Amino acid sequence: MFKTIVVQQFSDNLLLRTDQFLSSLPKLFLAAGIVAFQLLLFYLYFNVGPQVPLIVFFVINFFLAAKYVGSEFSYAIAFMAAAGKTYIKIEFYPGDAVWWQGHWQFISSYSLYTLICYLINSQLASRKRIEAAFDELSRLSEAIVTETDSGVLVFDNKGKCVVANPSVARMLGAHITQLQHCELGRDDALFPSTLLATMQGTLNNGERRQLTVRLGTPQSEVWSVVTIGQILHADSSYLLLVFADISAYKAAQDAAAAALNRAGAAERKLINIGEEVQQRIGRELHDDLGQHLAGVAFMSQVLFQKLKHSGYEEIHDAVKITEMLNEAVGKTRQLSQGLYPEELKEKGFCEMMEKLTSFVEANHQISCEFKCDNNRIVDNPEIAIQLFRISQEAVNNAVRHGHARQINLRITGDDATNILTIEDDGCGFGNATSSQKGGGLGMRTMQHRADLIGATLKVACPGHGGTCVTVQLPTAR
């Protein structure tokens, strides 16, 4: 069978080369050769007689005339063949003429030859139309491959490049002729190593693959999505690579990421500025206004004592003023501790959380409880302040947006993590506005504070209602 295939391929190549050679010759030379071949047939017909069937050679001559010179010339050769055969048969072999004599001999031969020429020309015309359509399709395909912005590379089963368009040359930073003559295994430096490995995998198992690679040179960098697959054609396999340039998308993505980073940095700066402002206001309230109110309260107490010894009736007003001033001093101290919890450094996180719950109960008239595992006390001041601020924000959201009546705060943990949980019985996210559902500044602030200390923040709505804020912090910090 192998021998038969080799012979078939040899004959096909021979016919193709012969056809290319004859098509390259001038039509005048071909016409002269066909006429000479026709005269040679007449000579053979004259010498061997009508008994030898030379019709096959006449048909070959008609075919050569129609294909390489023209249909009109093939009909002229048919007329020449009919006239020549009639003359030879009538003049030199009158005994074989029988009733095929004179005009009937010529008419019958010319009719047969004309019919053969018509069939040959019809077949050649159909073939030319098919070849023209195929050529047009090939030109269209070539134009599409050449003009498309996507890069196209095709390798045969021997690793030799058979198709390469300008787009892929631009992406790879190579010249188009260099790609058109490249071979896998010899010119691997043209391709990134990851791309070569993927190409080899597709060659081995035929699996369609896709990857994103950076191509080109450091001066002209290109990001591309490469789709790699195998195509089968004429009992041969080819490796097809299609390159889609995503450099613009990559640049836009990088710009968006940079913008997000800048926005995050600005937001973090805003939060830090807010923290600094809170601390400054807290210190001013504690050190300035608080001390001033304490001094006024002391003077009011002295005035009360004087009025009491003198027996003035305004003693009751002095008592009220003293009580109000002492209450103002207490509220100022509570407010300053909320803004700047200086006692975090002295008394610890759990005590400040207890004061937070007391402040919430006193000011909002709701139940607020705090439980702490004494073995899991947060002793890092930086971590403590961030957890305290998260607790403040979560409690504030529960009171203002969730309309909660019960808030529970607790610290639990094990050898791996500390967990802060703030849970309320409010309306949860279901009745909250979009700004409170995760897009609000308060929620982003809590997330940022958790990120600063390497913690994980989760906000959920339990099945029984309300909101549960969980901050999970690694213990080894």
pLDDT score recorded for residue 99: 45
DSSP assignment of 24-77: HS-HHHHHHHHHHHHHHHHHHHHHH-TTS--HHHHHHHHHHHHHHT-HHHHHHH
Domain that holds residue 119: 2-144
Q: Are residues 171 and 203 both part of a single domain?
A: yes
Tell whether 268 is covered by a domain. Answer: no
**Looking at the structure, do residues 159 and 102 belong to the same domain, yes or no?**
no
Do 17 and 39 reside in the same domain of the chain? yes
- Regarding whether 21 and 119 lie in a shared domain, the answer is yes
Task: Say if strands 468-474 and 456-460 run parallel, antiparallel, or are unpaired.
Answer: antiparallel
Q: pLDDT of the chain along its 477 residues, tens only?
A: 333 444 455 555 777 788 788 888 888 888 898 889 888 888 888 877 665 567 888 888 888 888 888 888 889 988 888 888 877 777 766 655 554 455 677 888 888 889 989 998 999 888 888 888 888 888 888 888 888 888 999 998 888 998 999 998 888 888 888 888 888 888 888 888 888 888 888 888 888 899 999 987 777 788 999 999 988 876 788 999 999 998 888 888 888 888 888 876 776 676 666 666 666 665 555 555 555 556 666 666 666 666 667 666 666 666 677 667 666 666 665 555 555 555 555 667 787 788 888 878 877 788 888 888 755 566 777 788 788 888 888 888 888 888 888 999 888 877 677 888 899 988 875 444 433 444 466 787 788 888 878 889 999 887 677 889 999 888 754
Q: Which of 144, 170, 201 is the last residue before a domain boundary? A: 144
Q: Report if residue 465 sits inside a domain.
A: yes
Does residue 286 form part of some domain?
Answer: no
pLDDT in tens, 262-283: 876 776 676 666 666 666 665 5
Residues 133 and 159 grouped into a single domain: no
Pair of tokens at residue 53? 């069937």
Cα radius of gyration rounded to whole Å, the chain: 50
Is there a single domain that holds both residue 130 and residue 207? no
- DSSP state for residue 336 in the 8-state scheme: H
Tell the residue number behind the tokens 């053979």, with chain if given.
44
State whether 136 and 163 are in the same domain: no
Q: Where are the beta strands (DSSP E) in 331-455?
A: 367-372, 406-413, 417-424
CB-based contacts of 426, cutoff 8 Å, min separation 6: 398, 401, 402, 403, 404, 405, 465, 466, 467
Is the domain of 8 the same as that of 81? Answer: yes
Rounded Cα gap, residues 431 and 176, in angstroms: 63
- Taking alpha carbons only, the member of 178, 154, 174 closest to residue 237 is 154
Answer whether 34's CB lies under 8 Å from 69's CB.
yes
Cα(66)–Cα(156) distance, integer angstroms: 37
Q: Element (H or E) spanning 159, and its range?
A: none
CATH of the domain at 442: 3.30.565.10
Q: Specify whether 162 is located in the same domain as 93.
A: no
Coil, helix or strand for 150? coil
Q: Count up the domains in the chain and report the number.
A: 3
- Is the pTM for the entire model greater than 0.75? no
* Rounded (5°) CA angle 363-369-373: 140
Residue 7 lies in a domain: yes
Is the Cα dihedral 32, 37, 42, 46 positive or negative?
positive
What's the pLDDT score for residue 329? 61
Q: What CA–CA distance (Å, rounded) separates 39 from 31?
A: 12
| Residue 371: inside a domain | yes
- Predicted pLDDT at 221: 84
Residues 161 and 127 grouped into a single domain: no
Residue 5: how many other CB atoms lie within 10 Å: 9
Beta carbons of 425 and 405 less than 8 angstroms apart: yes
Residues 111 and 229 in one domain: no
Does residue 337 belong to any structural domain of this protein? no
Residue 376's contacts (CB-CB under 8 Å, 6 or more residues apart) are 411, 412, 413, 418, 475
d(Cα 440, Cα 359) in Å, to the nearest integer? 25
Alpha-carbon distance of 124 to 65, in angstroms, equals 11
Of 144, 179, 207, the last residue of a domain is 144
Domain annotation covers residue 241: yes
Residue 16 burial (10 A CB sphere; 0-12, 13-18, 19+):
exposed
pLDDT of residue 312: 65
Q: Where among 129, 144, 159 does a domain terminate?
A: 144
Torsion of CA 140, 143, 148, 151, to 10 degrees: 110
d(Cα 55, Cα 57) in Å, to the nearest integer? 5
Sheet with strand 236-245: strands edge to edge: 161-164, 151-155, 236-245, 221-233, 209-216
Same domain, 190 and 238: yes
| Distance from C-alpha of 238 to C-alpha of 415, rounded to nearest angstrom | 59
Place of tokens 């030319």: 128
Tell whether 153 is covered by a domain. Answer: yes
State the pLDDT at residue 411.
85
The confidence score (pLDDT) of residue 6 equals 42
Residue 165 is part of a domain; what is its CATH number?
3.30.450.20
